[in-house]
Structure 1
């Protein structure tokens, strides 16, 4: 398995869980604009080692989700800002350039201290 991306969750905005029903999680590296913090899973150690691709696997803690589509801005935004939206609808075409689409699977709640990784292979 090759590690494509890795980080650690350090804070959850108050509104994060309200997006679970919409099958979305918004990631932002610590230092997110104040108006965004309450909606985001905030993380540190933003390390993108390679471009994310379809069929990679995203892990939040021990829970895995297969990547089904990668928006055109995902790799750049994740690398520079630590900011993307995880969309759990299983779409093969992202709705927006910053969406990382994942298999249609119920979101297991994120907790502080979770690792987030994307692996290939």
Structure 2
């Protein structure tokens, strides 16, 4: 396992990006993120990234499974240091922004899949 964490809370506006089909992402940050970021972020328990994330890795978000299709050039560092990335559910093979981690899966993720204690695992 490369990474394991659990969702601790999220801001009032954090799920609006997920609900917009043209965006379809969430912003992740370690618990304890600055107040100005909490409003738009899904916070999770701080955990160590045990090895670099690469396309082909498997992300488990609760009971849903996704394949990582792209990792932006800054996402490795920010995820390791701050637990921060923009997790895009678009399945694209190139990250449009440096902090993006793109994933694809057979099931769509929704606001109902975001809950306190939801496990985030990367294998």
Q: Return the TM-score normalized by structure 2.
A: 0.89
C-alpha separation between the residues in 1 aligned to 2:44 and 2:109? 18
Counterpart secondary structure, 1:53: coil
1:13 counterpart residue number = 11
Show CA shifts across 1:48-101 (max 9, x none). Answer: 000001110111111111100011111111111111000111111101111001
C-alpha separation between the residues in 2 aligned to 1:110 and 1:64? 14
CA root-mean-square deviation: 1.2
C-alpha separation between the residues in 1 aligned to 2:48 and 2:63? 19
C-alpha separation between the residues in 1 aligned to 2:117 and 2:24? 21
2:114 counterpart residue number = 110
Structure 1 runs of 4+ with >2 Å offset = none
2:32 counterpart residue number = 31
Counterpart secondary structure, 2:15: helix
Task: Please state how far the C-alpha of 1:45 moved relative to its aligned partner.
Answer: 2.8
C-alpha separation between the residues in 1 aligned to 2:49 and 2:77? 10
1:47 counterpart residue number = 48
Q: 1:88 aligned to 2:89?
A: yes
C-alpha separation between the residues in 1 aligned to 2:11 and 2:51? 28
Q: 1:61 aligned to 2:59?
A: no
Counterpart secondary structure, 1:103: strand
C-alpha separation between the residues in 1 aligned to 2:61 and 2:91? 17
Counterpart secondary structure, 1:6: strand
- Structure that is richer in strand per residue: 1
C-alpha separation between the residues in 1 aligned to 2:12 and 2:3? 25
Structure 1 residues not aligned, in runs of 5+: none
